[in-house]
Amino acid sequence: MRDEPRSEALLEWYDRHARVLPWRVGPADHRAGIRPDPYRVWLSEIMLQQTTVAAVKDYFARFTTRWPTVEALAEAEDGAVMGEWAGLGYYARARNLLKCARVVAEDFEGRFPDTVEALQKLPGIGPYTAGAIAAIAFDRPAVVVDGNVERVMARLFDIHTPLPAAKPELTERAASLTPQTRPGDHAQAVMDLGATICTPRNPACGICPWRDACLGRINGMAAELPKKTPRKPKPIRQGTVYIARRIDGAFLLERRPDKGLLGGMLGWPGSDWTEGDVPDHSPPIRAEWKTLPAEARHTFTHFHLRLRVRTALVPLDRTPRLGEFLDKDAFRPSDLPTVMRKAFDLMNGA
C-alpha cells in the first residue's frame, strides 16, 4: 500500500543531507536558534532566478564581501553593481536589485519585511521570490515552487498534465504538503530533494525519503515526468559590434540604455539585432575596420544571436560618434555581459 508523503520524513532526510550553501543556515544551526540573514537570502534568491547554484556561488561571495549589508549595497554606484553582475545574465534583475536595496534601506530602515504580501511590493520580487524569502528567512508557511519542486510534485503525485499548464496543480500539491512547523526547512528540503535525488534524469528513488509515497515511482513513470509542452524553435537574430582600440590601449564602449536587453550594461557599440540579413549600420568612429572571420554566438531566452565582429585600431585624436573611450586601466573585460565578452575573446583569438 502507498504511504502518504509526509513532511516529517522529508525533514528527517534534510537534517542529515541538507546541502551546505553559503546563504543557508543549516538545519542543526537553525534548530539551535540561528536565523538566516534576510539580506543574504534575498540576494541568493534573486541571483538564483534562471541560474544554477554552481553559477551563483562566486558572484554571491563577491557581492557579500564588497557589500555585506543591504545598506552597503544601497549606497553602491550603479556601474559597480552592474559590473559585478556581468556574466550572470538577465540584467533587469541587477537593476531591480539595486532599486530594492535602496527601498529597503530608506523606507524600511534596512530591514526586509517578513510577509509574502509586503515582500512582493518591493522591486524585482515576484510571487516565487517573495514566498522563498518569507519561508527561508522568516519561517513563514509560504508555498515555494521552483523547477525542482515542480518536478518532485509531478512525480510524487504522478501528474501528466504538461508544463506550464500543470503549474497551478503542482502548486496546490506543494501547498498541501507545506507544514506549519519548520516551513522554511521544508521548502529548502523539497528543493534539495529535486536538486540531488529527484534529478531530471535517473532519479535515485532507492534512497529517496518519499519512495513509498511516490505514485510516479510506483507507476513506473518517474523518469518521464514532468511532461512539457514542446517549445517553438528560437529565431536567429543577427547584428554587428565594433571593437575600437585606441593606440594608447583605451577601448571604445557604450553603456546601454536602462530599458531593454542588457539594459544598463557596458557593451561594444553596434547595430540593432534583427532577424534576416545583418542590418546596415555605420561604425561608431571613422577607422579602417576589419571583420573577424568568425561570429560571436550567444543564446538568449527568446532567440539565438549571431554577431559579426569588426575591429579597428584608431589614432589618439579621433572623436567617436557613439560611446566613450575607457582607459586601459579602467577597462575590465569581466564587466562585460557574456555576449560582449564573447566578441572580445574572439578578437583576442581565445
Residues labelled catalytic = 45
Residue 157's nearest CA partner among 204, 119, 210 is 210
CB atoms under 10 Å from CB of 105, counted, come to 18
In DSSP terms, 236 is beta-bridged to 304
Grid cell listed for 82? 552592474
| Binding status of residue 6 toward ligand SF4 by CB under 6 A | no
* 187-to-36, 276, 310 alpha-carbon distances in Å: 14, 46, 49
| Binding status of residue 208 toward ligand SF4 by CB under 6 A | yes
CA torsion 193→197→200→206, rounded to 10°?
-130
Select from 204-212, 269-277, 284-292, 303-311 the region that touches ligand SF4 (CB under 6 A).
204-212
Q: How many residues comprise the chain? A: 350
> Which of 214, 266, 296, 347 forms a contact with ligand SF4 (CB under 6 A)?
214
Which of helix, strand or coil describes residue 75? coil
Number of residues lying near ligand SF4 (CB under 6 A):
14
Q: Write down the residue that cell numbers 550553501 correspond to.
A: 21
| Binding status of residue 205 toward ligand SF4 by CB under 6 A | yes
Helix 92-107 with 78-85: angle, nearest 10 deg:
130
CB of 74 to ligand SF4, least distance (A): 41
CA angle 303, 306, 311 (to 5 degrees): 145
> Which of 155, 186, 245, 310 forms a contact with ligand SF4 (CB under 6 A)?
155
| Binding status of residue 170 toward ligand SF4 by CB under 6 A | no
> Which of 89, 184, 216, 267 forms a contact with ligand SF4 (CB under 6 A)?
216
Q: Write down the residue that cell numbers 589614432 correspond to.
A: 315
Grid cell listed for 40? 543574504
- CB-wise, 213 or 241, nearer to ligand SF4? 213
| Binding status of residue 17 toward ligand SF4 by CB under 6 A | no
| Binding status of residue 226 toward ligand SF4 by CB under 6 A | no
Select from 59-67, 214-222, 243-251, 264-272 the region that touches ligand SF4 (CB under 6 A).
214-222
Helix and strand numbers (H, E) in the chain are: 14, 8
**Pattern 178-197, binding to ligand SF4, x per CB under 6 A?**
-------------------x
Angular region, 59: left φ>0, alpha ψ -120 to 50, beta rest: alpha
- CB-wise, 11 or 73, nearer to ligand SF4? 11
- CB-wise, 208 or 339, nearer to ligand SF4? 208
Burial zone of 317 (CB within 10 Å; 0-12 exposed, 13-18 middle, 19+ buried): exposed
> Which of 198, 252, 266, 287 forms a contact with ligand SF4 (CB under 6 A)?
198
- CB-wise, 46 or 149, nearer to ligand SF4? 149
> Which of 13, 210, 242, 325 forms a contact with ligand SF4 (CB under 6 A)?
210
Rounded Cα distance, 200 and 197, in Å: 9
| Binding status of residue 9 toward ligand SF4 by CB under 6 A | no
> Which of 17, 211, 227, 255 forms a contact with ligand SF4 (CB under 6 A)?
211
Q: Please give the residue ranges that form the binding site for ligand SF4 (CB under 6 A).
A: 152, 155-156, 197-198, 203, 205, 208, 210-211, 214, 216-217, 222
